[in-house]
Structure 1
Amino acid sequence: MNNTNKISILQGRLIDPANGVDTVTDIHIENGKVAAIGETPAGFQAATIIDGNDKIVCPGIIDLCANLREPGAEYKATIASETAAAAHSGITTLCCPPDTLPVIDTPAIAGQIKHKARKAGYCRVLPLGAQTQGLKGEKLSEMAALKGAGCIAISNNYAPLANTLVQRRTLEYAATFDLLTIIRSNDRHLSDQGCAHEGKVADRLGLPVIPEAAETVAVARDLALAQTTGAAIHFHTLSSASAAHTLAWARREKRRVTADVAIHQLHLTEMDIEGFDSNTHVLPPLRSTGDRDGLRQAVAENIISAICSDHQPHEADAKAAPFPATEPGISGLNTLLPLTIKLVHEGVMDLSSAIARLTIGPAEILGLPLGRLQVGATADICIFDPDTYWTVVPDQLTSQGKNTPFGGWELPGIVTHTLLEGRIVYQRD
């Protein structure tokens, strides 16, 4: 009997929030699927045995936003480099936003990205299709064709739409094809050319600001348009407690809306931009301590049901100019899981809830049959040691982007194995 594709993970602590499982057990894998949990099936002989003692075994992480920079900005990163970093970090599925060069507004570009990701073999990449042609905010993209080419949702990412009517038309069109619209809610007139949260820190540093209202006004507008059109929307990288409160209301009203938050927004605040550290230049900006705490509460209560990396790798020069002139974004793949575990250590939520925000939460947002590990499920698995600490050294990140504000932080959690469809795509030496 051929057993080369059979793997047994022995005596790991299986945490599968989707099925309410938290127990020490064995998992047996065959042909890319979970064959059994607990007892070894009759006649099953594993070719590979993984010792799960003192480790957490959970579904593979699903990251709702990771910029891969290819095509168009390979000097920053490539599909191969960043999917390898994802595998190193326990991430088995990631969404690639549409602002590549060329933009993901044709089936050909979507197909090219998926092909390169399959060739690299480290991680499942799901492209997001452009909401408008060329992300110019004017003419609607061919959403049906993009969906047919494998785009999991549509988004205009940071690019503003020409006006509210265009937003309404895109939502109507997306609703027709049952396509999720992912929105970075921002009023471009209020945010203008700002780079920091409107508050005392920005005032003291003399930085142009982005008020909280730039987000909250846009969230209210987008909720109203979604209600009118019947579209399903997802708010990407919320940054304010006020937006989280509005989201809580919308979810109580049974609106078709979900949201995620970038992991750095749950740890950093406007205070961290002191010293003009360009690695803390992000969009939306780091906000107040009250905003951070409000976001933490929303995540703990599952109002915000997913945490993402919002991974944006940059070359060194992109962060070398004066703060407002630097390119925003953090290289976040390598720190997504450890920073989420840190929330557990800080008492924000329990470990099962934290894992849920990285697995079943994003899976359900995207309507994917992933993020769970019952018998018959796809064997996307992350195995990590939760109690071993490591120090973040930017130059040692496996992402091509070394731009992180977490340099010197001591974080819990080291991934030892990542399995994608039953294949070991990363194993720690």
Structure 2
Amino acid sequence: MTVLHFTNARLINPETLSDAPGSLTVVDGVIREACKKPAKGAVVIDCGGKCLAPGIIDWGVKIGEPGERHRESFRSAGLAAAAGGVTTIIARPDTNPAIDTPETLEFVTRRAAESAPVRIRHMAALTKGRDGREMTEIGFLLDAGALAFTDVFRVSADSRALSRAMTYARSLGALIVGHPQEPVLSKGGAATSSKFASFRGIPAVSPMAERMGLERDLALAEMTKVRYHADQITTAQSLPALARARAAGLDVTAGTSIHHLTLNELDVGDYRTFFKMTPPLRSEEDRQAIIAALADGLIDVIASFHSPADEESKRLPFEEADAGAVGLETLLPAAMRLYHAGHLSLPQLFRALALNPASRLGLAQGRLSEGAPADLVLFDPDAPFLMDRFKLRSKSKNTPFDGARMEGRVLATWVGGAEVFRSGE
């Protein structure tokens, strides 16, 4: 029997929304009722007054296996996650080929278990080839371990096909993850419509495209009664529709990206492609509205939407460059910007980073309660550092925070009570 006793900790509990000194006991990888004194033979870990919280569950991570291992492998993603306090990765199915068959899902599940020091679970494609027409074998994919179903950024314009897939998913209790964008209107858009985009000559998309896509998805969710999650809500215009769906009792949740919470459209500056995202960065007014919705609980989840891209894919004219940024190692320090600005408390942040994604996906992690897996992160929310993208453990280095002054350093990470990372600094 292996017993760990974490003492002198600042416990961040997202279930009780408490932030208080305390201790934590772990027996054979499972959290037990806290006691002030360690049991005989326990390994005592002095947290030095730093924050001990549930490990982050990062929902929507792109990993390059299969097909693009040069961008990110399960091993490199797992090492980056551990260094960032992420103990569970929820991986996307937008691979090459897509994760749209039980055989492909079983392959990536096995590869992840063999290669990564953290937990990796997968979403599967909703339609074959993510083409938006013919649904995948949802039942078999559920049996193979799929947590949810999504075509990620390929939004189907065929509402009839989507409604069929949702109806079938509803019969199986499966969760559908949608990317709220009107596909025709948003096609080719590299920035949000604004004076800034016009001045820079960047092809732009109206923020109304997000609301239109969300309204369509919510109408289908109401019609089919499916469990639905909107992966990225980034505009103020989308919030009333989301609030109405919640008030009507629909089984609907929503997430947003850490980049849309901490950056805005002006950060693109002189066509800096590391700031090109999907959806594009929004106005400062939108950013503030999404932060308020997160604080109020209307938006449930914060994720990094880790999207590795090689140098050749980013060193192109802005409208031609790949969208997205890596985020497994920058998610926590970027989230600390919201804490230090007074927008959210640490328990509120970990509610969105750990508890809510675990609850929505039916996972036991994301908690400090007795019986939960001991997936933990020890961090210093005030430790300052200068972000250097070449020190990131991800194979790809496309972060918009390169050279930025940040606060919040991960000191150690445990998965099932086993230490998978400890800072050397």
**Short-chain TM bin:** over 0.9
Shift of 1:309: 0.2
Alignment check: 8 A CA contact 2:170 2:224 kept: yes
Q: Which runs of 5+ in 2 are unaligned?
A: none
What amino acid is the match of 1:45? G
Aligned-residue sequence identity (percent) comes to 33
Q: TM-score, normalised by structure 2?
A: 0.97
* Partner residue, 1:235: 230
- State whether structure 2 residue 412 is matched by structure 1 residue 417: yes
Question: For 2:192 and 2:369, how far apart are their aligned partners in 1?
Answer: 44
- State whether structure 2 residue 333 is matched by structure 1 residue 338: yes
Output one character per residue of 1:79-122: Cα deviation in whole Å (capped at 9) or x when no partner.
Answer: 11011100111111111111111211111211122212211241
- State whether structure 2 residue 176 is matched by structure 1 residue 181: yes
Q: TM-score, normalised by structure 1?
A: 0.96
Question: For 1:35 and 1:221, how far apart are their aligned partners in 2?
Answer: 45
Question: For 1:210 and 1:20, how far apart are their aligned partners in 2?
Answer: 38
Aligned pairs (5 A) from 1:247-396: 247-396=242-391
* Partner residue, 2:41: 45
* Partner residue, 1:26: 23
What amino acid is the match of 1:364? S
Question: For 1:20 and 1:281, how far apart are their aligned partners in 2?
Answer: 34
What amino acid is the match of 1:329? G
Output one character per residue of 1:291-336: Cα deviation in whole Å (capped at 9) or x when no partner.
Answer: 1111111111111111000001111111001001000001111111
Matched position secondary structure for 1:358? helix
* Partner residue, 1:59: 54
- State whether structure 2 residue 17 is matched by structure 1 residue 14: no
Moved more, 10-19 or 283-292: 10-19
Moved more, 58-67 or 108-117: 108-117
> Are the structure 2 counterparts of residues 22 and 204 from structure 1 closer, same or farther at C-alpha, using a change threshold of 3 Å?
same
Output one character per residue of 1:325-362: Cα deviation in whole Å (capped at 9) or x when no partner.
Answer: 00000111111111111101111111211121111111
What amino acid is the match of 2:33? A
Aligned pairs (5 A) from 1:217-232: 217-232=212-227
* Partner residue, 1:159: 154
Alignment check: 8 A CA contact 2:295 2:344 kept: yes
Alignment check: 8 A CA contact 2:77 2:116 kept: no
- State whether structure 2 residue 127 is matched by structure 1 residue 132: yes
Alignment check: 8 A CA contact 1:8 1:50 kept: yes
Alignment check: 8 A CA contact 2:235 2:286 kept: yes
What amino acid is the match of 1:7? L
* Partner residue, 2:106: 111
Matched position secondary structure for 1:93? strand
Q: Which runs of 5+ in 1 are unaligned?
A: none
Question: For 1:341 and 1:274, how far apart are their aligned partners in 2?
Answer: 23
Aligned partner (choices 72, 75, 83) of residue 80 of structure 1: 75
Alignment check: 8 A CA contact 2:17 2:348 kept: no
Alignment check: 8 A CA contact 1:28 1:40 kept: no
Shift of 1:162: 4.5
Aligned partner (choices 196, 200, 204) of residue 201 of structure 1: 196
> Are the structure 2 counterparts of residues 236 and 161 from structure 1 closer, same or farther at C-alpha, using a change threshold of 3 Å?
same
Question: For 2:153 and 2:370, how far apart are their aligned partners in 1?
Answer: 40
> Are the structure 2 counterparts of residues 242 and 162 from structure 1 closer, same or farther at C-alpha, using a change threshold of 3 Å?
closer
Shift of 1:247: 1.2
* Partner residue, 1:143: 138
Question: For 1:285 and 1:79, how far apart are their aligned partners in 2?
Answer: 27
Alignment check: 8 A CA contact 1:19 1:374 kept: no
Matched position secondary structure for 1:328? coil
What amino acid is the match of 1:284? P
> Are the structure 2 counterparts of residues 197 and 162 from structure 1 closer, same or farther at C-alpha, using a change threshold of 3 Å?
closer
Output one character per residue of 1:53-82: Cα deviation in whole Å (capped at 9) or x when no partner.
Answer: 221001110111111111110111101101
What amino acid is the match of 2:275? T
Alignment check: 8 A CA contact 2:262 2:337 kept: no
Shift of 1:38: 2.3
Shift of 1:49: 2.9
Output one character per residue of 1:120-165: Cα deviation in whole Å (capped at 9) or x when no partner.
Answer: 2411111111100111111110000111111100001111324110
Q: How many equivalent residue pairs?
A: 424
Question: For 2:106 and 2:120, how far apart are their aligned partners in 1?
Answer: 11
Alignment check: 8 A CA contact 1:386 1:414 kept: yes
Question: For 1:28 and 1:45, how far apart are their aligned partners in 2?
Answer: 12
Question: For 1:361 and 1:313, how far apart are their aligned partners in 2?
Answer: 25
> Are the structure 2 counterparts of residues 121 and 36 from structure 1 closer, same or farther at C-alpha, using a change threshold of 3 Å?
farther
Alignment check: 8 A CA contact 1:363 1:369 kept: yes
Alignment check: 8 A CA contact 1:136 1:159 kept: yes
- State whether structure 2 residue 63 is matched by structure 1 residue 96: no
Question: For 2:297 and 2:135, how far apart are their aligned partners in 1?
Answer: 33
Output one character per residue of 1:265-301: Cα deviation in whole Å (capped at 9) or x when no partner.
Answer: 0111111112000011111001111111111111111
Alignment check: 8 A CA contact 1:19 1:372 kept: no
